[in-house]
Amino acid sequence: DQQVKQNSPSLSVQEGRISILNCDYTNSMFDYFLWYKKYPAEGPTFLISISSIKDKNEDGRFTVFLNKSAKHLSLHIVPSQPGDSAVYFCAASYGNAGNMLTFGGGTRLMVKP
Amino acid sequence: EAGVVQSPRYKIIEKKQPVAFWCNPISGHNTLYWYLQNLGQGPELLIRYENEEAVDDSQLPKDRFSAERLKGVDSTLKIQPAELGDSAVYLCASQGQHTGELFFGEGSRLTVL
């Protein structure tokens, strides 16, 4: 039973345009969500997070939106840059910080120059 | 500040051989995780430590996998004997007390022939 799903295995976007990566979850107990970015041959690195008490969190070019009623979150990257090309994982946990994360399967983003 | 350090980065062994992976977490991080990542999938939790105590090892295949975190700092993950299906990247991550963010190492890529 996959509790966190990323239904798009890949996404291709032109440089300068918006990238939108989507994530759905099934466990209504999740209250903390994170996005990780992974380059080849490296471990995932933290990108941005959002608590369930918010519906939006912004950090520079990256914005995460949370729709609790739909159990859906998305990551927007504006403008997209070639260096953003990587695999993006969404992750979720419950019970506040300090609890284990459940990861989605990842979406490979390719930003074309 | 040094990140999470894992070794070896790459390991190629024949099936039925033993293998061990080592992880040194970020200094002061009490929580340590071992994740398994298969190609094209997200990380899946194997075991979680709070200091030296394994608090969640329900996903660890205990017939062939073992882990330890003596003294609550470094950790080792062992597979004996390895099977073809164990070929994957083994990720170690550590987590501070007041943050939900996990910091990952670069991973240990295992190939079982």
CB-CB under 8 Å, B97 with A44: no
Task: Evaluate whether B67 touches B60 at the Cβ level (below 8 Å).
Answer: yes
Rounded to the nearest angstrom, the gap between the alpha carbon of residue B101 and the centroid of all alpha carbons in its chain is 17
Q: CA–CA distance from B15 to each of B63, B68, B85, B98 (Å)?
A: 15, 23, 9, 41
Residues 37-66 of B with CB under 8 A from A: 40-45, 48, 56
Phi and psi at A96, nearest 5°, equal 70, -175
% residues pLDDT > 90 (chain A): 85
Q: Residue A84, SS3?
A: helix
Q: Tell which residue, A103, A109, A84, A90, has the closest CA to residue A23.
A: A90
Pull the structure tokens for residue B40. Answer: 């094209």
Quote the minimal CA–CA distance from B43 to chain A in Å.
6
Tokens 């979850």, residue? A25
pLDDT at residue B1, as a whole number: 64
DSSP state at residue A68: T
CB-CB under 8 Å, B42 with A106: yes
CB-CB under 8 Å, A45 with B104: yes
CB-CB under 8 Å, B93 with A43: yes
Per-residue pLDDT band at A96 (split at 50, 70, 90): low
Pull the structure tokens for residue A105. Answer: 């399967």
> Residue A100 pLDDT > 90, yes or no?
no
Handedness of CA A93, A94, A95, A100 (dihedral sign): negative
Pull the structure tokens for residue B106. Answer: 């670069």
Per-residue pLDDT band at A2 (split at 50, 70, 90): confident
CB-CB under 8 Å, A46 with B42: no
- Please list, in sequence order, all residues whose beta carbon lies within 8 angstroms of the beta carbon of residue B90, skipping any fewer than 6 positions away: B6, B21, B34, B35, B36, B37, B46, B77, B107, B108, B109, B110
- Interface A-B: count of C-beta contacts within 8 A: 61
Could you report the per-residue pLDDT of B46-91, keeping only the tens digit for each?
999 999 999 888 889 989 999 999 888 999 999 999 999 999 999 9
Q: Tell which residue, B49, B99, B96, has the closest CA to residue A32.
A: B99
Phi and psi at B82, nearest 5°, equal -75, 145
Could you report the per-residue pLDDT of A26-61, keeping only the tens digit for each?
999 999 999 999 999 899 999 999 999 999 999 999
Which residues does chain A have within 8 Å of residue B40's beta carbon, measured at their own beta carbons?
A: 9, 105-106
Task: Evaluate whether A86 touches A37 at the Cβ level (below 8 Å).
Answer: yes
Helical (H) or strand (E) element with A37: strand A32-38
- Separation CA A28–CA B106 (nearest Å): 31
Pull the structure tokens for residue B48. Answer: 């979680």
Name the residue facing B31 among A43, A45, A98 (closest C-beta).
Answer: A98
CB-CB under 8 Å, B91 with A44: yes
pLDDT at residue B2, as a whole number: 79
pLDDT at residue B72, as a whole number: 85
Quote the minimal CA–CA distance from B65 to chain A in Å.
20
